[in-house]
Amino acid sequence: MKTPVSQYFDSIADDYDHRYDASARPYHSYLHQQRLRIAARDIDFAGQRILEIGAGTGSLYDLITQQLADPDYFACDVSEEMLAQSRIPLQQRAVGGITEIIPPHAAFDLIFMLGVSTYISPEVLQAVLARVTTLLAPEGRFIVSFTNPRCLDWHVRTMIRRVWHGKGILGQSFQTFAYLPHVATPPLRLHHAEWYNASVTPINTLLPNLSLRVARWADKHLPEGLRSLCCADIVAIYTR
């Protein structure tokens, strides 16, 4: 059964990749690519069993196949239309959440979940993390992104959602969520967390080039201690 989240992403699937086109939306393109760069940094995908939860239109798959022509990769997503826009082969993808589908392997060396947790309630997230724990091979890595609840951007977006009911993600009726890395508990062990996306809505949309310069500067120069307060997003890496 389709949910409001899956219906929303089905509705924007045809135009989704354009939303991250560098010429049309330079800041959002940088943000999207930065998440991929952090998530895939220094990973050799050869010989790895890879699972992606919430693959969308296949950005991570495209990145992997630049390094490896035929990866041992499987993906799921709640939006059928988003997956249909991807280059992921039919036999390597499934429509549904990770708690609903049966992956081709009992254990995976790499599990990715990028841009997904924002749409998952705390109760469902705990079920997802429990499922990830059963699917993650010993010494495997779980790489996940979160929206940062400490950041000013999160609080601004929350206030906008209370009064704005229109197009775009902020105008949707479904709730969004923010988490810190300690939301995952043993046997998942936090190996590394990286904060990125130093911006504030709606400045990043109204002044994208300025926001891009600020984000690039912050990625290079912002002290680690300030990142957890100034950056809107987190990539966390866990081992088992």
Show pLDDT as tens, one digit a residue, over the chain (240 residues): 799 999 999 999 999 988 888 888 888 899 999 999 999 999 999 999 999 999 999 999 999 999 999 999 999 999 999 999 999 999 999 999 999 999 999 999 999 999 999 999 999 999 999 999 999 999 999 999 999 999 999 999 999 888 877 778 888 889 999 999 999 999 999 999 999 999 888 888 888 888 889 989 998 899 988 998 999 999 999 999
Q: State how far the Cα of 67 lies from the Cα of 33, in Å rounded to an integer.
A: 16
DSSP run (H or E) holding 116: none
Other Cβ atoms closer than 10 A to 80? 16
Domains of the chain, first to last? 4-239 (3.40.50.150)
- Model pLDDT, residue 202: 83
The sign of the torsion formed by the CA atoms of 218, 227, 58, 172 equals: negative
Q: State how far the Cα of 121 lies from the Cα of 139, in Å rounded to an integer.
A: 27
